[in-house]
Amino acid sequence: MSSIRKRPGSKYYQYTTGTPPNRIRRSTGQTNHHAAKIKQKEFDELYEKQGLTYIPKTTYSFIESYLVWHKQNKSLDWNKRVQQGLTPFAELYHNVLLTDISIDHVIHYKTERSKIRAKNTVNHELSMLSGLFKYAQMLRVVSNNPADPYFIERYDTSEDRRDPIPIDMIKEIINQTTNERDKAMMSLALYSGMRAGSAGTLEKKNIQDGFLEWVQGRKVKRKCVVPLHPKLKDMDLTNLAPKKKQRENVTNHLQAMLMDLYQYESDFHSIRHTFSNRLTELDLEWLYIKFLLGHKMDDVTWRYMHKKVETFRPYVYAI
């Protein structure tokens, strides 16, 4: 049951609801009792019907607390990137309550940021903002993610979505490539689904007992385990392209050959989509494909998949 009252020394009515430790107190911003009662009804709807339990914070304040949690649970490199990505939003809506942020704020932010930043940079910042609201939903600070409808629309209409390179094309390019490093890099992407960063930095310890085991991703450092394809067994796979410029050269070589042979535009990461697409064609269940790609799943599911990884060998060998 909520109540409103004037605090000693304050001209505004204070709204109170809930019980400790989830008691909420906030100013109504109203000096008139009737106006404060109207605010009370609005707050009741916000907290009682939506089931929110935390005192609302300004966007700037909540982002600060989110970054503390993020630093404790994610890699330092990724935390730094997220901090940089969320700072412009925090500065733009410094004093706006997080619960008052709507899709209109998100779209306005994108419009303003796009005037001074590249499209990809702005899209990365917006994805970080969506992560912030998912965290707020988890804590029941907000009831919805105002970025979600925007991202669904952006994803469905994106010009940057990648299609898998047709498997016959990439196999032919691998066969024709005379550069052993490029051949190994492209083969790793095709037969294990590796990203360029992982394929270029493999060490001997990552190749063992008929499996490739590595850790990928700047965000959560997720472990991947994939059966070692026969095509990879006789290749030197270690430290192929540890520098970003070297990996860019592999992509440039691939793009040149695709255009030369097939008048086809694509990039290195699309080979990973070819790997995924081929496993789908072979009727491997999508949850297993997610495991092999290193996509996020809970710890219990991951342990279950890890025990079954040997059963994926026939599918990987059939690529």
310 and 175 assigned to the same domain: yes
Over the stretch 90-99, which tens digit does the pLDDT of each residue have? 999 988 888 8
Q: With respect to residue 126, please indicate whether it lies within any of the assigned structural domains.
A: yes
Domain count, the chain: 3
226 and 270 assigned to the same domain: yes
Whether residue 68 has pLDDT greater than 60: yes
- 44-48, 72-76, 112-116, 257-261: range with lowest mean pLDDT: 44-48
Residue 55: the pLDDT is 59
92 and 138 assigned to the same domain: yes
Following DSSP, what letter does each residue of the chain receive, concatenated?
--EEEEPTT-SSEEEEES-TTS-EEEE---SSHHHHHHHHHHHHIIIIIS---S---BHHHHHHHHHHHHHHHS-HHHHHHHHHHHHHHHHHTTTSBGGG--HHHHHHHHHHHTTTS-HHHHHHHHHHHHHHHHHHHHTTS-SS-TTHHHHHHHHHH-S-PPPPPPHHHHHHHHHH---HHHHHHHHHHHHH---HHHHTT--GGGEETTEEEEEE-SSS-EEEEEE--GGGTTS--SSS--SHHHHHHHHHHHHHHHHHHH-----THHHHHHHHHHHHHTT--HHHHHHHHT----HHHHHHHHHHGGGGHHHHHT-
Q: With respect to residue 54, please indicate whether it lies within any of the assigned structural domains.
A: no
CATH value at residue 185: 1.10.443.10
Domain extent for 10: 3-49
Over the stretch 152-161, which tens digit does the pLDDT of each residue have? 444 333 334 5
Q: With respect to residue 87, please indicate whether it lies within any of the assigned structural domains.
A: yes
123 and 242 assigned to the same domain: no
Whether residue 269 has pLDDT greater than 50: yes
Mean of the per-residue pLDDT values of the chain: 85
Residue 117: the pLDDT is 86
Residue 153: the pLDDT is 40
Over the stretch 74-90, which tens digit does the pLDDT of each residue have? 888 888 999 999 999 99
Whether residue 162 has pLDDT greater than 90: no
Q: With respect to residue 139, please indicate whether it lies within any of the assigned structural domains.
A: yes
- 26-30, 44-48, 114-118, 141-145: range with lowest mean pLDDT: 44-48
231 and 305 assigned to the same domain: yes
Q: With respect to residue 172, please indicate whether it lies within any of the assigned structural domains.
A: yes
Query: Would the pTM count as exceeding 0.75?
Result: no
Q: With respect to residue 266, please indicate whether it lies within any of the assigned structural domains.
A: yes
179 and 294 assigned to the same domain: yes
Whether residue 212 has pLDDT greater than 50: yes
